[in-house]
């Protein structure tokens, strides 16, 4: 049985949206629900961890700027 073009296109979009909603529900359930455990804010970094330290890869200076204040390099590595 073939379905006409506009109806099939709408059906494909509907199935795609429903599949995405179903996958999102599964993901939220695995993370512990909306209110408990890991939330979307913690998953995407809204509570910033200030214990991270950034070190210049050229000279080893600890800094939090874009460029190193000593050598001007923009390459950084993260240390605990």
Q: Provide φ and ψ at 23, rounded to 5°.
A: -65, -40
* Most confident residue range from 1-10, 18-27, 48-57: 18-27
Q: How many structural domains is the chain composed of?
A: 2
Q: How many whole angstroms separate alpha carbon 29 and alpha carbon 15? A: 21
Do 15 and 32 lie in one domain? The reply is: yes
Global confidence as pTM: 0.39
DSSP conformation class of 78: E
Burial, 29: exposed, middle or buried (Cβ in 10 Å; 0-12, 13-18, 19+)? Answer: exposed
Same domain? 37 vs 54: no
What pLDDT digit, counting tens, does each position of 3-18 carry? Answer: 888 999 999 999 999 9
- Domain containing 12: what range? 1-44
Query: Are 22 and 38 in the same domain?
Result: yes
């Amino acid at each position: 049985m073939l379905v006409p073009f506009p109806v099939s296109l709408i059906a494909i979009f509907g199935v795609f949206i429903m599949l995405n909603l179903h996958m999102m529900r599964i993901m939220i359930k695995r993370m512990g629900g909306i209110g408990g455990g890991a939330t979307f804010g913690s998953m995407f970094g809204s509570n910033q961890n200030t214990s991270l330290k950034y070190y210049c890869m050229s000279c080893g200076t600890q800094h939090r700027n874009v460029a190193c204040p000593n050598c001007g390099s923009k390459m950084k590595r993260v240390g605990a």
